[in-house]
Amino acid sequence: MLISLLNAYSSLFYSYNRIFGAILLLASFLYPFSGFCGLLGWGVAVLWIRTLRYNPVYIKDATLTYNPLMTGLGLGALYAPNLQMVVMVVLISSLTFLFTLFLWNILHKYHLPFLSLPFLCTFWFVVPALTNMQNVHIATFELYYLNTLYAWGGKELIAWHEYLNYRMLPLFLTAFLQTLSVIFFQNNILTGFLVAIGIFIHSRLAFLYAVWGYTIAFLFYGFAGIDVAQLLAFHAGFNFIIIAMSIGTYYTTPSWSSLLTAGLAVLSTILLAHGLQHIFVHLHTSAYSLPFVLTVLMFLWALRQRPINQHPQLSTVQYFSPEKNFYRQSNHNERLKNLWYLPIDLPFFGEWVVSQGYVGKHTHLGEWAQALDFVIVDEEMKQYTREGVRKEDYYAYNKPITAPASGWVVAISNITIDNEVGEVNTAENWGNSIVIQHAEGLYSQMSHLKQFSFRVKVGDYVRKGDWVANCGSSGRSPVSHLHFQLQTAPFIGAKTLAYPLGYYLTIEHGKKKLQTFAVPQEGELIQGIAPNTLLQESFGFLPLQKISVLPTAEQKPVEWECFTDAHNASYLYCHTTKSYAYFVHDGTMFYFTSFEGDKKSLLFYFYLACYKVLQGFYEDIEITDTFPLDLFVSPYNVLNDMLAPFLPLTQASYKLRYTKIDDTHHTRQIQLESTVEVHFFKQRIKKYNFQILLENGRIAHIKAQVGKQETILTFA
């Protein structure tokens, strides 16, 4: 329950940092009755959740408890302590909880947050009822706080108060700290200082944006001729701080564009705050956080109407840490964009040349521009042997054509006679063709195939790599070649679709280079990935498979287990360290997508060592990738956290090399080497070296070298 309580406090700033929560809890008790009432409001919400049998997760993540907590804090700060007020806190916090459920149900339909609206409804519609109660009294500490201070410590305490609040610090900093204290309905720099320290511990980026939001407001007040003292009036200044943190670091990932958007949101909130206050002053109340709430809802609604991946980017997965949000999302945007695509392979074996690419000179035009033509050439770049006067002379003729991905055969045309060299059949333009459905709205078409060479029929299910027909020269095909396109319709000759191929190799000057989710270019010599059985077996983890790993011969084995979650994502779970390593194995590539847990665990070493492994053995290629930076702690993290979205200082890179294989066709043993390097300002600050041995259909062991320390992971 203590964790749930701390989460409720830290969630006021979009955080689940327990240290931050403890600091906020401490700060709330600088007004003891306010701190007590805050705890009481939270306890009332917890009791309601349990009584109504709601999911206990709403207690832990504070979804339904932070508004009653705010209500308790506000009531405790504004009213004098007595038994009647304690009862009122219980009743009014209960109403806040009911407001929370009501507004949550309404706004959830539009995928919008309810923020502090339940608290606002309580203070506008319920709290005014307290004015009719003679046994409930307004707190006098804020009204006569100098008198109270004099009673506590005489003139010396008042002198210290004057020095701390008005003379020790510059006006900007004093006003900033006092404004931060408003979250607890206080007005002192000590509370503000505690809150500021807590924000900095939680997130350096959040602190930066808090200062940014307040700076814009402070400068605009001076520019517009508004008394800076009004930043503290009606809780206005706090709106500007929290809106910058909200729009800039929580709902979007930090970047230059989010910084500018947050600044625009602050200016919008200033106008709303002063406009609304002219209305609420006649209602004898305050707008409180309403300017913040309205600005968030309007900006969030506007940002969600755009195409995906526009800047500023909305946070797709919420880690409740601006740094982690940025590191993970920027890394995922770069290396996991392929998750949007179904991997499509090349539809043939061996090395072929792209004779015509997208928007080609001859036939790839208009609605059929996104297509590829392939031929086979020799070392002299000739497509044929002998004189090339017969279709059989062409290297591509009669070569096997394979399914580029698994799916159902939905159309076949097998009525066109193959052309002799130089002839074209424009009446039957596509010639003999096959269309395979791979997913809803995704089809592949292969054309100019050899008549009567089909090995499948309509309605058959084919697997990726299955031999479906042979290359021919039918239709508009003066020489033997393969026409390949992807489309959204199930018939031959449909409009083409621009779509990347999953994995293939380009060959230039004898050197091979891996291409990942790219479109082959005209003139490129390319080759598909030939899977290696040992690699596929070693990394083919199955659900509920258990893996025992020995760190050394003397220690007890650590047990991992493979699971699949509700979103069909696969992961390895370490029962000893409670760590998770999510991965994808699409048949051609094994790669990890994220890691959560103990960074000193064996599972983390395995995650680093096998971060990305191509399931084919090629000694002359190097697999490279990058890591999210939150995985690596360094002395420079504070500086890097604050500057990473604007000026990247740190990089963490991965390289994998294929070093040894005993037999290409009947492989029993493979050796791999991988390296992880972390650089700060191009200076290496950390390095991991791994040697990976695959043997007899499994991973045999991994040797990990970090500095002078060596760890051997032996797989039982």
Instruction: Read off the pLDDT of each residue in 385-401 and give the average, rounded to a whole number.
Output: 89
One domain for residues 482 and 585:
no
Is 0.85 topped by the overall pTM? Answer: no
One domain for residues 474 and 557:
no
**Among candidate residues 104, 139, 174, the one where a domain is terminated:** 139
CB 466 within 8 A of CB 400: no
Q: Which amino acid is at 141?
A: F
From the CB of residue 466, how many other CB atoms can be counted at a distance below 10 Å? 15
**Among candidate residues 78, 105, 139, the one where a domain is terminated:** 139
Instruction: Read off the pLDDT of each residue in 678-692 and give the average, rounded to a whole number.
Output: 90
Q: What is the DSSP letter of 422?
A: T
φ and ψ at 207, to 5 degrees?
-65, -45
Query: Which SS3 state, helix, strand or coil, does residue 647 take?
Result: coil
One domain for residues 49 and 101:
yes
One domain for residues 622 and 671:
yes
H or E stretch including 276? Answer: helix 256-280
Structure tokens at 384: 């044929």
Structure tokens at 549: 């790993």
Write out the residue range of the structural domain in which residue 358 sits.
351-527
Asked if residue 134 belongs to a domain, the reply is yes
Long-range contacts of 660-665 (CB under 8 A, 24+ apart): 661/532, 661/617, 661/619, 664/617
H or E stretch including 626? Answer: strand 622-626
**Among candidate residues 502, 527, 552, the one where a domain is terminated:** 527
CA gap 187, 183 in Å, rounded: 9
Burial 34-63 (b: 16+ CB within 10 A, else e): bbbbbbbbbbbbbebbeeeeeeeebbebbb
CA gap 551, 715 in Å, rounded: 9
Say what the alpha-carbon torsion angle 300, 303, 307, 310 is, to the nearest 10 degrees.
-120
Residue 234 has pLDDT above 60, yes or no: no
Instruction: Read off the pLDDT of each residue in 45-59 and give the average, rounded to a whole number.
Output: 92
What are residue 671's DSSP bridge partners? 660, 693
Q: Which amino acid is at 44?
A: V
pLDDT of amino acid 246: 95
φ and ψ at 190, to 5 degrees?
-65, -45
φ and ψ at 338, to 5 degrees?
-65, -15
CATH code: domain of residue 425: 2.70.70.10
Q: What separation in angstroms does the CA of 705 have from each of 192, 256, 299, 640, 687?
A: 46, 38, 49, 26, 8
Structure tokens at 536: 């596929």
First to last CA, the chain: 40
Number of domains forming the structure of the chain: 3
Asked if residue 331 belongs to a domain, the reply is no
pLDDT of 147-187, one tens digit each? 555 565 666 666 666 666 655 567 788 888 888 888 888 87
One domain for residues 510 and 384:
yes
Asked if residue 340 belongs to a domain, the reply is no
Sheet hosting strand 669-680, strand order edge to edge: 612-614, 589-596, 579-585, 570-574, 558-564, 546-550, 709-715, 698-706, 683-695, 669-680, 650-661, 622-626
Following DSSP, what letter does each residue of 452-495 receive, concatenated?
Answer: T-----TT-EE-TT-EEEEB---SS-SS--EEEEEESSSSTTPP
Instruction: Read off the pLDDT of each residue in 235-255 and give the average, rounded to a whole number.
Output: 89
Query: Residues of the chain with pLDDT > 90: what percent?
Result: 60
Asked if residue 207 belongs to a domain, the reply is no
pLDDT tier, 553 (very low <50, low <70, confident <90, very high otherwise):
low
Among 674, 680, 683, which residue's Cα sits nearest to residue 629?
Answer: 680
Region label for 552, one of left (φ > 0), alpha (ψ between -120 and 50) or beta (otherwise): beta
Which residues neighbour 161 within 8 Å (Cβ) at sequence distance 6 or greater? 146, 149
Look at 161 and 50; give whichever has higher pLDDT: 50
One domain for residues 357 and 490:
yes
Round the average pLDDT of the chain to a whole number and report it.
89
Residue 455 has pLDDT above 80, yes or no: yes
One domain for residues 438 and 577:
no
One domain for residues 483 and 548:
no
One domain for residues 644 and 519:
no
pLDDT of amino acid 356: 92
pLDDT of amino acid 649: 84
From the CB of residue 269, how many other CB atoms can be counted at a distance below 10 Å? 28
Long-range contacts of 224-231 (CB under 8 A, 24+ apart): 226/274, 228/171, 228/175, 231/175, 231/179
Asked if residue 199 belongs to a domain, the reply is no
Distance from chain centroid for Cα 119: 31
Structure tokens at 208: 């930066």
Following DSSP, what letter does each residue of 244-270 receive, concatenated?
Answer: HHIIIIISB--SHHHHHHHHHHHHHHH
One domain for residues 460 and 572:
no
pLDDT of amino acid 144: 47
Asked if residue 293 belongs to a domain, the reply is no
One domain for residues 501 and 583:
no
Question: Positive or negative CA dihedral for 243, 246, 248, 251?
Answer: negative
Asked if residue 184 belongs to a domain, the reply is no
pLDDT of amino acid 158: 62
Distance from chain centroid for Cα 195: 28
Among 622, 620, 602, which residue's Cα sits nearest to residue 612?
Answer: 622
Which residues neighbour 360 within 8 Å (Cβ) at sequence distance 6 or greater? 369, 371, 373, 522
Distance from chain centroid for Cα 210: 23
One domain for residues 514 and 545:
no
Asked if residue 122 belongs to a domain, the reply is yes
pLDDT of 483-535, one tens digit each? 999 999 999 999 999 999 999 999 988 889 999 999 999 999 999 999 999 99
Q: What is the largest CA-CA distance in the chain?
A: 111
Sheet hosting strand 501-508, strand order edge to edge: 461-462, 407-413, 432-439, 442-449, 482-487, 371-375, 351-356, 525-527, 501-508, 511-518
pLDDT of amino acid 159: 66
